[in-house]
Amino acid sequence: MPLPHTFIVKPSLPAKLKPFLELAYNLYWPRYLETAALFRDLDPGVWEKTDHNPVLLLMSLPPNRIQEIAGDPGYIARLERVWQQHQEAITPKASWARDHGLDGDLFIAYFSAEFGLSEALPIYAGGLGFLAGDHLKSASDLGLPMVGVGLLYRQGYFHQRLDRQGHQQEIYPYNDFYQLPLVAERRPGGEPLTVRVNFPDPDRQVEARVWRARVGNLNLYLLDTDCPGNLEEDRLITDRLYGGDLEKRIQQEIILGIGGVRALKALGIDASIYHLNEGHSAFLVLERMHQLQEQYGIDSGTARELAASSNIFTTHTPVAAGIDIFPPYLIDKYFTEYYQALGLSRQEFLALGRKDPNNQQEPFNMAVLALRLSARANGVSQLHGQTARQMWQSVWPGLPVEAVPIDAITNGVHTTSWVGPRMAALYDYYLGSGWRDDPASPDAWARIEEIPARELWQAHEEQRRELLAFARRRLAQQLRGWGAGLREIAALEECFDPGALTIGFARRFAAYKRPALLLSNPERLARLLGDKQRPVQIIYAGKAHPRDEEGKQLIQQITTLTGDAAFRGRLVFLEDYDLEVARYLVQGVDAWLGNPRRPLEASSTSGMKAVVNGALQASTLDGWWAEAWTPATGWAIGSGEVYADAGYQDAVEGEALYNLLEKEIIPLFYERDGSNLPAAWVEMMKRSIKTYAPTFNTQRMVAEYSQQFYLPVAGLYRRLQAGNQERARKLAAWRSRVKGAWPVLKIEEVTDDRQDEVVAGGSLKVQARIYLGTLQPEEVAVELYYGPVGPGGEITAGEKVELVDYQDRGGGRYLYSGTIPCRQGGRQGYNLLVLPRHEDQAYPYQSGLILWG
């Protein structure tokens, strides 16, 4: 049979019901619960069956049901109310933009390989995706001019099914894009908007279609290569998120980075900031150079200055193995034509992705590419910032670790998307609308104290009941899938104790997260769970990466225990951890558990979702918890030490976890007053909400990105671009001249006025004779780097002072002088260093040149 002629059927609704369409095609519902209820009540069965897909639901409504709704004044009134609230909520608070000097020239393109926005659009795997989704929502709330750019995966990420033995099965959904909240972008003439990239064989072009989703008042553009004109294998490039081998990965990243920038151009979008959410999209920096060269007829050096002055790179990975690395042969295969067009040699091109540009063996590293060509870079918690500076120190050889230009902006969550129905109602009543409009303001949360303890506890207990009911439904589904009998399913009524301390552990099953830490002593755990007076129950959920055998075994280890008589009904594993499961879990648990092996968790955000619902967190001091934890607001497992022996560390922290549960968490939860209220626990809930809610949200996070990165960097980009790219050209010429002149620079002599000892509070005068060759003193910064001397003779916790006074000694020689304050006692040291200096550099160490003396 030949392929059929195809056509698209769209839902059709009478005028009164049109808001349904607008809502269905928006992935951000500020009034999530009310909006979801509105759709669900159209047809609860279809709502569940379609994974909460409002578009498909509208498409499946029979005409008589549509008429029925259109004639139901109560329903129409509900729709109008939700629609009005929705519109108000997605209208940005214009004052924020004004207050922060946002002018018309700022426009941000936010690139990410995944976006977690809706269970109906399964193009996310985990934390990175939710962070991207919540970033877009907060940008919409704040009125930032932004678009998202990503890939549209035909099969998305897998659904997880477990067999009776706990083996993970992966089921890939098939996404019919026409049934999702997406619109195919079209050219003015009506034909689909596509972009093309060249692949190695002559004439092999890959076409990608551009789809648009709405997120509040922003657009998210998604690229998909499943186009009829493509080779069969190229149609599969975007079939799965993180699927396939290394070559598939490079193909996906070419589509995302290069295709993504081409899509923006085709859409007429001229962004001044390109934000790379992790290194997957880093090829975009090359395409930016390419386009700037074509557009302005500038050389590659100038194009590089311009492109790099508008990129921002956020890294989420604390281990080298988490970074995409491509062997040179793959780069040769896909980029030979491309680097020739850029005017670069093979060696120059490969050097962009190498820590050591001269090492011919080194593979091409996407994070290095992003770091080299960005104006700002950051890690996603304060601790991860430190880890990232250590990890990438070698990209700036010779630079002290504290000076490595990677900042930290701690992750957050989009508050209203994660707060459950009962808590939201309570917040609305006691806090007013501030917690919705301006969650990053401590004032918005100050009145938490005024919520009567009993009301807070009741609201929380209702959310816990909702969770337990949901978990039973899911477990029943799981049992039915295994062909279990009615008796077995009915026995689920016995599962859970409605009032028991309920602990949640849900995350990706990766070894470093140690999902089985709590099971390290099964007898001890069985005693806790089986305690008749003070029962405890634990709900697990999480997927293992399809190729992660260790993660899969951990799932099995836990599911095996769930069947054991000592744990039955008190220890459960829910299949298919996704947005919906996460929502119930973080809203309903009493305590949220995290026990990653420090420092391998860059941030983690699930605990932030839980604490804003009143759960208390117990975690090792890693990621956000390392900076957030206080004894009054949660629990620390262990003391944040890192042991060389991981097995020993697990033993110590496993023991610490049991002790915490036995001595603190369980007793506090069951310390009840005459009316069965856990007053001290509720007090701690209030302190936790009040402390964490204003800080660990994406409104604060996006505001930080805006103030520290977007605004200053956009200013730099405009300056370099102005007047025929004049400053970019000068900067490029300067950089190339400095590079040529650098090898002859020499620190000829360093002297100081130290006698035997320096008294604390005094100072040390230092002089240095430096040969600058052809460079002028204005073109270099001469700095003293000083601090206490550590055991290996190195300077620890160094600080710097710049030597600004100099005398011209003729012949390219200069005598610099300055003083070091000696505040601390003990052995101190200093070094002298010289760096290129230019006011248009994005940051002082951008050239990578440094001279020590």
Ligand X SMILES: *Cc1c(COP(=O)(O)O)cnc(C)c1O
- Provide the minimum distance between the beta carbon of 518 and ligand X in the complex, in angstroms, as a whole number: 16
Residue that has been written with the tokens 């190229």 in this structure? 234
- Provide the minimum distance between the beta carbon of 544 and ligand X in the complex, in angstroms, as a whole number: 13
List the interface residues with ligand X, window 581-610 (CB under 6 A).
582, 604-606, 609
Nearer to ligand X, 30 or 607 (CB): 607
579 interacts with ligand X by CB under 6 A: yes
Contact by Cβ (8 Å): 749, 789: no
- Provide the minimum distance between the beta carbon of 498 and ligand X in the complex, in angstroms, as a whole number: 24
User: Which DSSP category does 783 fall into?
Assistant: E
Calpha distance 681→827 (Å, rounded): 48
- Provide the minimum distance between the beta carbon of 586 and ligand X in the complex, in angstroms, as a whole number: 7
- Provide the minimum distance between the beta carbon of 149 and ligand X in the complex, in angstroms, as a whole number: 21
Q: Which two tokens stand for residue 561?
A: 């225990």
Nearer to ligand X, 293 or 314 (CB): 314
List the interface residues with ligand X, window 495-524 (CB under 6 A).
507-508
Calpha distance 707→700 (Å, rounded): 10
Residue that has been written with the tokens 């000097």 in this structure? 101
DSSP 3-state of 689: helix
Which residues are within 8 A (CB) of 190 and not within 5 positions of it... i.e. 6 or more apart? none
- Provide the minimum distance between the beta carbon of 499 and ligand X in the complex, in angstroms, as a whole number: 26
Q: Give the x-and-dash track for 83-122 against ligand X (CB under 6 A).
A: ----------------------------------------
Q: Give the x-and-dash track for 456-475 against ligand X (CB under 6 A).
A: --------------------
Nearer to ligand X, 209 or 583 (CB): 583
Calpha distance 658→596 (Å, rounded): 16
Backbone dihedral angles phi then psi of residue 145, each to the nearest 5 degrees: -75, 110
Nearer to ligand X, 374 or 605 (CB): 605
Q: Which two tokens stand for residue 195?
A: 């972009």
Calpha distance 545→530 (Å, rounded): 33
- Provide the minimum distance between the beta carbon of 454 and ligand X in the complex, in angstroms, as a whole number: 30
Contact by Cβ (8 Å): 11, 120: no
Give the one residue of 578, 590, 622, 653 binding ligand X; rule: CB under 6 A.
578
Q: Give the x-and-dash track for 608-637 against ligand X (CB under 6 A).
A: -x----------------------------
Tell me the residue length of the chain: 853
> Per the omega criterion (within 30 degrees of 0), is the bond before 400 cis?
no
539 interacts with ligand X by CB under 6 A: no
DSSP 3-state of 820: strand
Calpha distance 117→101 (Å, rounded): 29
Calpha distance 102→92 (Å, rounded): 13
Interacting stretch for ligand X, rule CB under 6 A, among 77-85, 140-148, 451-459, 575-583? Answer: 575-583
Contact by Cβ (8 Å): 328, 353: no
- Provide the minimum distance between the beta carbon of 7 and ligand X in the complex, in angstroms, as a whole number: 36
Contact by Cβ (8 Å): 539, 504: yes
Nearer to ligand X, 239 or 622 (CB): 622
Contact by Cβ (8 Å): 502, 589: yes
Nearer to ligand X, 333 or 508 (CB): 508
Per the DSSP assignment, residues forming a β-bridge with 132 are none
Nearer to ligand X, 293 or 411 (CB): 411
Calpha distance 269→517 (Å, rounded): 49
- Provide the minimum distance between the beta carbon of 134 and ligand X in the complex, in angstroms, as a whole number: 9
Nearer to ligand X, 53 or 160 (CB): 160
Sign for the pseudo-dihedral over CA of 840, 843, 847, 851: positive
Nearer to ligand X, 578 or 783 (CB): 578
- Provide the minimum distance between the beta carbon of 117 and ligand X in the complex, in angstroms, as a whole number: 11
Contact by Cβ (8 Å): 124, 157: yes
Give the one residue of 111, 573, 577, 806 binding ligand X; rule: CB under 6 A.
577
List the interface residues with ligand X, window 690-709 (CB under 6 A).
none
- Provide the minimum distance between the beta carbon of 403 and ligand X in the complex, in angstroms, as a whole number: 29
Nearer to ligand X, 240 or 727 (CB): 240
- Provide the minimum distance between the beta carbon of 70 and ligand X in the complex, in angstroms, as a whole number: 36
Nearer to ligand X, 496 or 696 (CB): 696
Nearer to ligand X, 625 or 658 (CB): 625
Contact by Cβ (8 Å): 326, 257: no
- Provide the minimum distance between the beta carbon of 26 and ligand X in the complex, in angstroms, as a whole number: 20
Contact by Cβ (8 Å): 602, 384: yes
Calpha distance 80→793 (Å, rounded): 71
- Provide the minimum distance between the beta carbon of 137 and ligand X in the complex, in angstroms, as a whole number: 14
User: Which DSSP category does 158 fall into?
Assistant: P
- Provide the minimum distance between the beta carbon of 579 and ligand X in the complex, in angstroms, as a whole number: 6
Other CB atoms within 10 Å distance of the CB of residue 321: 6
Interacting stretch for ligand X, rule CB under 6 A, among 23-31, 47-55, 544-552, 571-579? Answer: 571-579
Nearer to ligand X, 123 or 745 (CB): 123
Interacting stretch for ligand X, rule CB under 6 A, among 180-188, 236-244, 342-350, 574-582? Answer: 574-582
Nearer to ligand X, 518 or 834 (CB): 518
List the interface residues with ligand X, window 119-148 (CB under 6 A).
126-127, 130
Backbone dihedral angles phi then psi of residue 173, each to the nearest 5 degrees: -70, 155
Calpha distance 330→616 (Å, rounded): 48
Q: Which two tokens stand for residue 353?
A: 């992705």
Nearer to ligand X, 128 or 571 (CB): 128
Per the DSSP assignment, residues forming a β-bridge with 493 are none
List the interface residues with ligand X, window 770-789 (CB under 6 A).
none
- Provide the minimum distance between the beta carbon of 127 and ligand X in the complex, in angstroms, as a whole number: 3
Nearer to ligand X, 508 or 800 (CB): 508
Calpha distance 616→235 (Å, rounded): 47
Residue 451 burial (10 A CB sphere; 0-12, 13-18, 19+) = buried
Site residue total, ligand X (CB under 6 A) = 13
Each residue of 537-561: b (16+ CB within 10 Å) or e? bbbbbbbbbbebeebbbbbbebbeb
379 interacts with ligand X by CB under 6 A: no
Which spans of this chain sit near ligand X (rule: CB under 6 A)? 126-127, 130, 507-508, 577-579, 582, 604-606, 609
